[in-house]
Amino acid sequence: MVYQNGYQSTMSWPDEVGIISLELYIPNYYVDQAELELFDGGDKFKGKYTVGLGQKQMGFVGDNEDVNSLCLTAVSRLMKRQGYSTKDFGRLEVGTESILDRSKGVKTVLMQLFEDNTDLEGIDTINACYGGTSALFNAVQWVESSNWDGRFALVVAADIAIYSVGNARCTGGAGAIAMVVGPNAALVLDRGLRGTHMKHVYDFYKPKLDSEYPEVDGPLSIECYLSALDICYERYRAKFNLQRSKGQVGDLSEEEFSLDNFDAIMFHTPFCKIVQKSLGRLVLSEYINKGPASKANPKFEKLETFGDITLKGSYHNRNLEKALLEISKPLFEAKTVPTLRIAQRVGNMYTPSLYGCLVSFLTSRSCSELCNNKLAMFSYGSGMAATMYSITTTSDVSKISKLLSSLTSVDSVLDTRIKYTPQKFVDVLKQREETHNRADFTPQHSAESLQNDTYYLVRVDEKYRRTYDCHQFEK
Ligand code: ACO
């Protein structure tokens, strides 16, 4: 069968379904975390956000950007830079937790970019920071389904992460990612290798529809994140071992499952320190899982003093946490540090966070280094929904090269953003508080300080209808 985009199928389902192209939008404003910690708490806070949480900068947007404009920016740039036509797509999925309307989805706003292709399935997917991953899974599953018509799927994840005054505010951020999904991809999502954990919990939620700020129980959210990681990893490992026993995991079929199987291990990143601790948890899980074999491994010598440790009973054991950080340090530096460059300088983007880590990793390696890699991905959304899954990168350098072609400017964008003082940052948040979801409103922030090709909110009319324009240096 020959599909609309020329893809020729000889199988009952398409091969190597995954991510073909990526476009990351990083907002043009940031605040320095070393300045922010002093502003928030004086000398008492010196080192808290930078050393304690591992952050350098935090990105944010003015009152003329919202979730719709972020998605419009990411999608339009991706289409333009990669030369896609609107008719190349049969599905468009949005993952976000920054909705402005309980009925009209962000996806419908994006339809203004697809006026000549209204045959485009997909709507919004919402559950805290997990919505982007769920949208990606939906897109992959559509391509693998009997409903697939040969066109690509497009996934966009975008959020504005801002918090009320208090200890969570320094863990904000903002951004958007657009991903083209299809067969014969550069980044192939491994079939059947997902470990999922979902549960009812009030760790972080947004019940107040007149505010952009969440209700957060910080310590609970951290425990939920780490416990979800433990469970997802155990389930992922069980599925991997099942596939291995059936001889379905390619080159790794003879090997015992281990973290060493991965070339990169990346996580949803609310702040970098939690990720470092997370890697420690994976090492602990491996130690417990290998039982007596671990005891003979000198790498784990330091853990012997802790006796029979369990995953569940160890979340508040500070000495164990310290030992795990030490043991996992070489692994962290080799496999996770390269994934944190953007998170450290932009902060928590919520739904795009994990995919910002993917972009950090991809842009830290050459095309040939990126071939045949195995990438571990942990996605966490409060409330809660979490999955660990994996990606196998292609052996075809030209596909990697196409994937990287829209990501070459990431570092220059990070370096040329406009720095705001903490006071100016606080003023912007105050302005957003006062104007959030207001009707008959024209934003005050100037479009002139946006990057080229950035969509922005022009006006909200008296019936709450929003209009957008695209800022271009030269029209
Ligand atoms: N110098 C160096 N380190 C410091 C200093 C200092 N002056 N002061 C504190 N620290 C360290 C602390 O020891 C702590 O590190 P540790 O946990 O390794 O010991 C770290 O800095 C943070 O300090 P805390 O006192 O624990 O911070 P606080 O409780 O004020 O807030 C929190 C941290 C809970 C992460 C808060 O920012 C928050 O609620 N954020 C939003 C929730 C969140 O991101 N949860 C994660 C998963 S859910 C999601 O993605 C939204």
Q: Could you state, in order of their start, the residue ranges of all structural domains in the chain?
A: 12-471
Average pLDDT score over residue span 447-466 = 97
Above 70 in pLDDT, residue 267? Answer: yes
Give the residue, by CA position, lying nearest to ligand 1 atom 13: 52
Which residues, including other chains, have CB under 8 Å from residue 475's CB and lie 6 or more apart? Answer: none
pLDDT for 252 beyond 90:
no
For residue 289, with 0-12 CB atoms within 10 Å meaning exposed, 13-18 middle and 19 or more buried, which class applies? middle
Residue pair 343/272 in contact by the 8 Å Cβ criterion: yes
Task: Give the pLDDT of residue 9.
Answer: 55
**E strand map for 229-320:** 264-267
Closest CA to 152 of 239, 75, 53, 251: 75
DSSP state of 445: S
Report the number of secondary-structure helices (H) and strands (E) in the chain.
Answer: 13, 16
Alpha-carbon gap, residue 181 to 139, rounded angstroms: 7
Choose the residue to mutate in 167, 170, 229 for probing ligand 1, maximizing ligand atoms within 8 Å of C-beta: 167
Residue type, 325: L
Q: What is the pLDDT of residue 475?
A: 52
pLDDT reading at 44 higher than 90: yes
Residues 436-456: tens digit of each pLDDT: 999 999 999 999 999 999 999
Enumerate the active-site residues.
Answer: 97, 129, 268
Q: Residues near ligand 1 with C-beta < 6 Å?
A: 45-48, 51-53, 129, 167-168, 170-171, 204, 216, 218, 221-222, 225, 270, 273-274, 348, 382
CA 257: distance to chain centroid?
Answer: 25
Q: Tell me, what amino acid is at 137?
A: F
Q: What is the pLDDT of residue 286?
A: 93
- Among the listed residues 35, 204, 182, 60, the one whose alpha carbon sits nearest the alpha carbon of residue 130: 204
CATH 3.90.1150.10 for domain 12-471:
no
Which two tokens mark 132? 């982007």
The 10s digit of each residue's pLDDT in 202-223 is 999 999 989 999 999 999 999 9
Rounded to the nearest integer, the mean pLDDT of the chain is 94
Rounded to whole angstroms, how far apart are CA atoms 358 and 380?
Answer: 15
User: Distance, CA 52 to ligand 1 centroid (Å)?
Assistant: 7
CA of 33 to the centre of ligand 1 (A): 13
State mean pLDDT over 55-83: 97
Structural element, H or E, at residue 31:
strand 29-32
SS3 (DSSP) at 195: strand
pLDDT at 12: 60
- Give residue 376's pLDDT: 98
Output the CA 318–ligand 1 centroid distance in Å.
14
Q: How far is the CA of 218 from the centre of ligand 1 (A)?
A: 8
Burial of 192 (0-12, 13-18, 19+ CB in 10 A): exposed
DSSP 256: P
Contacts of 92 (CB under 8 A, 6+ apart): 75, 107, 110, 114, 120, 121, 122, 153, 154, 155, 156
- CB 346 within 8 Å of CB 173: yes
Mutate which of 43, 48, 50, 217 for ligand 1? The one with the most ligand atoms within 8 Å of its CB, which is 48
Structure confidence at residue 297 (pLDDT): 86
pLDDT in tens, 172-186: 999 999 999 999 999
- Residue 2, classified by CB atoms within 10 Å of its CB into exposed (0-12), middle (13-18) or buried (19+), is exposed
Question: In sequence order, which residues have a C-beta less than 8 Å from that of residue 109 and are 6 or more positions away?
Answer: 68, 71, 72, 466, 468
Q: Tell whether the model's pLDDT for residue 159 goes beyond 60.
A: yes
